[in-house]
Amino acid sequence: MNCRTNNEFYIDNMIEPLVNMGYNIKIFNVTNYLCWGTPNDYKIYNYWLEYFTNKK
C-alpha cells in the first residue's frame, strides 16, 4: 500500500484503506504528542532531551 500526500506518508491516509480491508479502527486520547515531521524537528527534540537528561 502506497498512500502518499505530496510524496509523504501520513497516518491519516491509511484509515479509509484499512477500514476497507476489514480492519477495526479505534480512536483514543493521548496525553502528549511529539511531532517529528522533519529531521530538524527530531534534532530539536534530541537537543532538549539531552539538556533535561543532563540537568539532573
pTM confidence score = 0.54
The closest alpha carbon to 3, from 20, 27, 28, belongs to: 20
Measure the CA–CA gap between 17 and 23, rounded to whole angstroms: 9
| Residue 56 pLDDT | 64
| Residue 44 pLDDT | 96
| Domain containing residue 22 | 4-54
Q: Indicate the residue type of 16.
A: E
| Residue 9 pLDDT | 84
| Residue 10 pLDDT | 86
Q: Which residues of the chain have pLDDT under 50?
A: none
Q: Are the beta carbons of 21 and 1 closer than 8 angstroms?
A: no
| Residue 21 pLDDT | 95
Measure the CA–CA gap between 14 and 3, rounded to whole angstroms: 7
